[in-house]
Amino acid sequence: MSDILRSKKEHELHGKARDAMRANKPEELRVLLSDNKAQKLIKETGGRVLSYCLVDAIGHRHLECIQELLKAGAYPCEVGECRPVMRTIIHGGDVRVLKLLLDYGASPDPVYGPGDYKPLYYGVRFADVGCFTQLLLYGADPDYNCSDRDPDARSVLGFCLANNYEVPFVELLVQFGANMYIPDIQKVLIHADNEAAKLVKSEKVHPRSLMSQCRIAIRRRLKQVGKLRLLDQLEIPTDLIRYLQYHNELDYPDKLPRYEEEHFKYDRC
């Protein structure tokens, strides 16, 4: 924490904000963070002075306090060991919190270091379809892999197929443009005999429609120029905006039965 909080004033603000958050007093937190001196310090540190408090609030699942921290300018991205997006998925998987972080600028594809697993991997690992969907909607790369860390690692689609994970994850990856022809997936398909593998084989025989390909291309281009979050502001018909946002198409449960088992095993570690 000392790497982020370098001055006495920063430590004091962090301590007061932490105490108000842990007591789950969002009004008190709002008053504290709206003070001119606090705002000046938040701006000087780019919101990093509140990083640990934000991660702590996520762990306590104090939604209103999380909102107040973000409104006040808390940095929503990764700083050192502060990983708000990852903590949200692993500790409770609250889709509302994840959406808040992403709305305030958190990356759906944070870079922790060479070969580190990304949030999409943990969404699958903990059977959290809701968080997995939000990450993809905000531009997470459906083709990433972690081969730098593990020579045997696969793309996230290959990982789902190899581990016989639920079909909804594979359906989502296909809808969001995952490449079904990369080598690791072909190797898995030879050996896998499950519903997810059958879905991929079927999708390969019946290529995506032109509309689907256009949607994927538009979303990728918006992501490249950093405008994917502004999709709803495009000057195009509302029906097209809804199509680009996958409205009425993503009807999945937030979590699957495996979630509780995986979450329990992780908490014991």
Distances in Å between the Cα of 23 and the Cα atoms of 64, 87, 113, 175 are 12, 20, 34, 42
Looking at residue 217, its pLDDT comes to: 95
Average pLDDT (229-256) is 89
81: confidence class by pLDDT, cuts 50, 70, 90: confident
pLDDT at 248 over 90: no
DSSP 49: G
Q: Which of 99-103, 115-119, 188-192, 218-222 has the lowest mean pLDDT?
A: 115-119
Q: What is the mean pLDDT of the chain?
A: 88
Q: Which residue has the higher pLDDT, 83 or 111?
A: 83
> 88 is written with which tokens?
């949200």
251: confidence class by pLDDT, cuts 50, 70, 90: confident
> What is the domain partition of the chain in residue ranges?
1-82, 83-268
268: confidence class by pLDDT, cuts 50, 70, 90: very low
pLDDT in tens, 116-167: 678 998 999 999 999 999 999 999 999 876 554 455 557 899 989 989 999 9
> Any bridge partners for residue 82, and if so which?
79
Residue type, 214: C
User: pTM of the prediction?
Assistant: 0.89
Local structure of 5: helix, strand or coil? coil
Residue 45 and residue 10 in contact, taking contact as beta carbons nearer than 8 Å = yes
Looking at residue 93, its pLDDT comes to: 86
Residue type, 10: E
Looking at residue 110, its pLDDT comes to: 79
Domain 83-268, CATH number (from 1.25.40.20, 3.40.30.10, 3.40.640.10, 1.10.357.10): 1.25.40.20
Q: Which of 93-102, 137-146, 239-248 has the lowest mean pLDDT?
A: 137-146
- The percent of residues above 90 in pLDDT, for the chain, comes to 64
Average pLDDT (24-32) is 97
Q: Which residue has the higher pLDDT, 63 or 5?
A: 63
Closest by Cα among 68, 109, 52 to 85: 109
